[in-house]
Each structure stands twice: as C-alpha cells, then as structure tokens.
Chains A and B, each alone.
Chain A
C-alpha cells in the first residue's frame, strides 16, 4: 500500500486565515493610533500609560487578545514570506520551512510566556 506524505498546508493555512482576519481588521487602526496619532500628539498618550496597558495585558481576556494578535499575525506574515521566497527562488524549501515557521513558533512561544508572566 502506498503511503502518502501529509501536507503541512492545512495546518498553517488555518493559522494564516485567522491571522489574515486579525491583520486586516485590527492592525491598520492599531498602527494609526499607537504609531502615528499618539506620537504626533493628536491622541492623548494616557491611553497607553503603563498602568492602563499593564492592566489590559494582565487581565486574562486582554492577555489572550494580545497573544492572539501577535501570534496569529506572525503566522499569517510568515506563511506569505515562506511562499514569496519560493517565488524569488531564495533558499531551499526545507531551510525556508524551518526558518519561517520556526521563527513564527518562537514568537508565539515568546508572546505566550510574556503574557503569562503579566497575569
């Protein structure tokens, strides 16, 4: 009986799809407020004060949200980078796979540990 090798694609595609939603709905407005309007003084900086941000990330729901935004958008971006490098003929497939999804896994782990220490 012939044995078929399972594709990694369904697993990473589900993470990619979920991350795409996060990246499309949340990231532009977050970048606009935290990276442009607040530093320019258009929006009051107390919104991201230490106590407020610490309280948000320290709550289980806020922590889960922050963890999801970081990890899912990373998986989303890394999945596209993995395929773009193929389009540009950069790197062997196995190496690209290890680097792209390895980095995504490390960032997920890092975000998870940080969120847990803030609880």
Chain B
C-alpha cells in the first residue's frame, strides 16, 4: 500500500507578479534597500567627519551633484512608503491596553503620526527651519 507521492507545489521566482497585493509587498521589501543605502550614506558622513574638514567638504559637495539629488529624491519616496506602511502595521504587531480596554487601532496610528510630526519639527529646527 503506497501513500503516493506527496504533492509539492512549485514556487517560482515570479510568484509575486500575479497579484497586485504581492507586488506592493515586494515594492515595500525593495524599499529596505534604500533604508540600507541611506544608513551607508550616514556611515560615509561619519567617516568623512573623522578624516577632517577637507574630506567632509568633498562629501558635502558630492551630496550636491544632480545624481545624488535624484537618488535622494527616489530614496525619500521609497523610505517614505516604507515608513507609512510600517506605521500602519503597528496596530497588528502590538496590542495595547489602557485601563483594561484595548486601545483602538486608529488611536495607535494617530499617536504615531503625532510623534512623527514632533520628530520632523525637531529635525526641521536643527536645520534652521521653524
């Protein structure tokens, strides 16, 4: 008596192209590359700072090139999408209670956006805006 050969559904490399939901998921995953890229830019800035004023000036000049501005604009869009989806996910990854009652998902997201506005305000103030 044979149990038969178990059915094993083959996973292709392009499985995510069949459904727009999975395409959005993959775009979101790709945005991680820009998060990594920007942390490398920050690491590069830190290295330039440790080397001295001349190296740091060259780093700032490189930030002003058209390619750098275009890449940073793309990074802003991708990391922005990464951030918006991360904030939207928070109610699903944590369950908060306040006085024995579950905090509404919309409240959690609203508090996150209030904190985001505060952080943006601090950074804007550091850059001399506000």
On whether the beta carbons of A28 and B46 are closer than 8 Å, the reply is no
Contact residues of A with B, CB < 8 Å? Answer: 17, 20, 23-40, 43-48, 50, 53-54, 57, 66, 69-70, 73-74, 76-78, 80-81, 83-84, 87-89, 107, 110-111, 114-115, 117-118
Q: Which residues in A have their C-beta under 8 angstroms from that of B86?
A: 20, 23-24
Q: How far is the CA of A80 from the CA of B127 in the complex (A)?
A: 31
Known: A107-B43, A118-B49. A26 touches B127 (CB 8 A): no
A74 to chain B, nearest CB (A): 5
Q: Is the interface of A mostly helix, strand, loop or mixed?
A: helix
B38-73 near A? 1/0 per residue, CB < 8 Å: 111111011101100100110010011000110111
Q: How far is the CA of A57 from the CA of B119 in the complex (A)?
A: 19
On whether the beta carbons of B72 and A36 are closer than 8 Å, the reply is yes
On whether the beta carbons of A27 and B83 are closer than 8 Å, the reply is yes
Q: In the complex, what residue of chain A is closest to B119 when comparing beta carbons? A: A25
Q: How far is the CA of A93 from the CA of B69 in the complex (A)?
A: 36
Q: Which residues in A have their C-beta under 8 angstroms from that of B11?
A: 89
Residue of B29, B32, B57, B119 ringed by the most chain A CB atoms within 10 A:
B32
Q: Which residues in B have their C-beta under 8 angstroms from that of A73?
A: 35-36, 38-39
On whether the beta carbons of A66 and B46 are closer than 8 Å, the reply is yes
B62 to chain A, nearest CB (A): 10
